[in-house]
Amino acid sequence: MKRYSTFTIILFIILLIFYSNVQARDRCQDYIQDIRQYSVQYLGYQYPYWYSVGCMIAESNCRADILSFDGGIGLFQLTPRVGVVAEISKYIPVDPYNAQSSIRAYSFYISRIKDVKLKQEQITFRKYKIRPASFTRYCGTNLADIYKFYNGGYWFVYESSRKKTGTYVCENREMFKYCVRGGTYTDKNHTKWLSFCEVNYSYPEKIYKYAQPYKKGMKDGIQYWYTDQPKPKPKQKESDIHNIFNYIFPIK
């Protein structure tokens, strides 16, 4: 039997990982045009679509046929079990197994998070009274928060209010310090612990990282991370059809 050196085995593993990443990047390119289209339709011209690409990579590595252990389906892991698909279906048709339908449903749901869910004055979440609109007014509209909601719901809004100062904690990793969620073991022997806090607060960090190769020098029209002095939104000329055309159909 032929034996391979340790160096040869390590080199093979590195090349395999590199090839997998290239393949994933190629898969992602197949969906970018639809992401741009539905981003403009549901989220507006200013929404930085590359974070939607980053979210797709985080959720499925751009695989449309994937089914996760917790019931998530397709490119954006839409989950019938927790009612997301049912909620979206009240407004638009959705088939999470169909790539284009999944992208459309994701874009619509992100708009619901941004414009409806995080602007409610007061709701009861679990046993807690929380004020999403108050949080948004204090911390601003930040895409990192929208993606935390996409991943874990209203938990971060509650946790951001736990600091004993009467105000909200806005910075992502500072919020993490007040997280009260538990976790679960991911193996039968109960040796591998998965922290729900780490999953949720690392989620926008992953999306930000995965999105950068697709940004290609463009500026974020909406702030991603919280800052003490949020940047003003850039002015948009409604008559600037040329810029909108280039946004949807970029010159390669």
Q: What is the pTM of this model?
A: 0.79
Separation CA 29–CA 247 (nearest Å): 16
How many H-runs (helices) and E-runs (strands) does the chain carry? 11, 4
Ordered by start, the domain boundaries in the chain are: 31-57+97-248
* pLDDT given for residue 232 in this prediction: 44
Q: pLDDT tens, 94-108? A: 999 999 999 999 999
The predicted structure's pLDDT at residue 26:
73
pLDDT value, residue 188: 84
Integer Cα distance of 211 and 222 in angstroms: 14
The first and second tokens of residue 183, run together, are 């976790």
Residues in the chain, pLDDT under 50: 1, 15, 18-19, 22-23, 230-234, 237-243, 245, 251-252
